[in-house]
Structure 1
Amino acid sequence: MANSPSGDSVLDRLVRVLGAFDGTRSSLSIATLARRADVPLATAYRLAADLVRHGLLSKDEAGMVRPGLRLWELANRASPAVDLRQAAIPFMEDVQSVVRQHTQLAVLRDDEVLVIERLSSRGSVVNQAQIAGRMPVHRTSLGMVLLAYSPNHVQESYLTRHPEAVASVDAVSFDFRRHLAQIRLRGYAAFDGRVDAGTTGIAVPVLDLHGTAQAALGVVVPLGFENSQSVVPALMTAARGIARTLGPAPA
């Protein structure tokens, strides 16, 4: 039910307010929150006050607001991501014991890679992935393996909405569809320096019974990583273990 001059509902605006927080800014001023959520400043003050009162946002002495503890609590009670993370953690720890760099788990959401979990060792290479953060699909091994093991209509829809995906890789000769097919043939995706120079990202799919990716399991290691030959088998073994633990996808 619309109840504002713009035609959006209170729920629409609440969702935009909560969605204004991302991996780049964990706390915001009310003015920035209003701009990011595309709501009037007075509305932002009112909605923020209501959310703070209910514990969904918290507010510090400087007037900055951030997601509250109750929001985290509610999200972790019955989330599919929690089940996936719990199934994956033991296998991720096995992979991390081999690479001792970064091991991460992600899913495909809204044309982006949503990172569910990340394990990292002290002194490991730079890695922009953050838990609950999002990354571009076509610039990450996680994203490309998720897309490669998605149904054809998902791939085609992505390319329709993101024509820059092809040009951003190689404007002259890159065949995006063929590259996805090659990933499926190999069973993994690997990119050097696509996001961070001096690193390699390697990812494999966590498949359901239909051969569709439920998630992607990957690592970020230095270029020329000395244990590179052991990485893909370790990832594939772990991905199969996660899939078995999750069991059949719900109908």
Structure 2
Amino acid sequence: MIGRAFRVLDAFSPQRPVLSLSEIARRAGMPLSTVHRLVHELAEWGAVERDDAGAYRIGLRLWELGALAPRGQGLRERALPFLEDLSQITRENVQLAVREATEVVFIERIAGSRAVPVLTRVGGRFALTATGVGLVLLAHAPVAVQEEVLAGPIERYTARTVTDPVRLRRMLADVRARGFSVSDRQVTMDALSVAAPIHDQHGQVVAAVSLVVRYGSAKPEALAAPVRTSARAISRALT
């Protein structure tokens, strides 16, 4: 029963946040009668909500439950003052992310008023190999995780996306050596990202912070200084 309920919830996505019962059944691969019963129980608990048109969306109860995750909410609360400072100083997109298995999960994003548009969203997932925060988190991930990711397939987003495992290994070594990463037009052709690692009290990398700017508006080395300063401040707040 729990597994089937998860399949119902997994039918929703950023591209399809509102679904009818028949759409949920089709996307979950289950009979309509089963989905009808599960959705009714999930709605009573608050995991899904029904709108005036009879369609369903994810409910606030799941948001409340998700907010209890220590790697998300706790880290976000401690990091937020420094993220806001970085945003005010640069007027650019500021992002905070953690690694979940072989993906990046964004737990905070502050959009600059005139900053370049980005594809990421809070709660969204992305490949470790393309974004600035992803490269930082992959560079400091266990060897087994690195090998799994580099074994592919590695998704390509633009003509600049690095998909060659040999080149990616060199990039990850460079991230560890320099203390920051650069994602140069790997996600969109108009954006450049610079990210730095956040450490916990044991010195382990638990998150990454980044600036995402319009390509050509600033040199990566100039962006690295404020990003690394912000990352060190957040790291101190975690100790």
* TM-score strictly above 0.5: yes
2:162 to 161, 164, 169: 169
Query: CA deviation digits over 1:89-119, x for unaligned, max 9?
Result: 0110111112212101111113111110000
CA distance in 2 between counterparts of 1:137 and 1:53 reads 37
Q: In structure 2, the residue corresponding to 1:240 is in which secondary structure?
A: helix
2:150 aligned partner: 159
Backbone CA RMSD of aligned residues: 2.2
Offset at 1:85? 0.5
Matches within 5 A, 1:202-213: 202-209=194-201, 211-213=203-205
Does residue 1:60 correspond to 2:51, yes or no?
yes
Question: Aligned pair in 2 of structure 1 residues 165, 54: CA closer, same or farther (>3 Å)?
Answer: closer
CA distance in 1 between counterparts of 2:79 and 2:86 reads 11
Matches within 5 A, 1:1-251: 10-77=1-68, 79-160=70-151, 162-164=152-154, 169=162, 171=164, 174-209=166-201, 211-226=203-218, 229-247=221-239
1:99 touches 1:227 (CA, 8 Å); kept in 2? no
CA distance in 2 between counterparts of 1:238 and 1:164 reads 30
Q: In structure 2, the residue corresponding to 1:63 is in which secondary structure?
A: coil
2:195 touches 2:208 (CA, 8 Å); kept in 1? yes
Amino acid at match of 1:181: A
Question: Aligned pair in 2 of structure 1 residues 165, 208: CA closer, same or farther (>3 Å)?
Answer: farther
CA distance in 2 between counterparts of 1:101 and 1:24 reads 26
Structure 1: unaligned runs, 5 residues or longer:
1-9
CA distance in 2 between counterparts of 1:217 and 1:81 reads 13
**Number of equivalences:** 236
Give the share of equivalent positions with the same residue, in percent: 38
1:101 touches 1:121 (CA, 8 Å); kept in 2? yes
Amino acid at match of 2:120: A
Single out whichever of 61-70 and 150-159 deviates more from structure 2. 150-159
CA distance in 1 between counterparts of 2:80 and 2:143 reads 30
CA distance in 1 between counterparts of 2:235 and 2:75 reads 9
Structure 2: unaligned runs, 5 residues or longer:
none
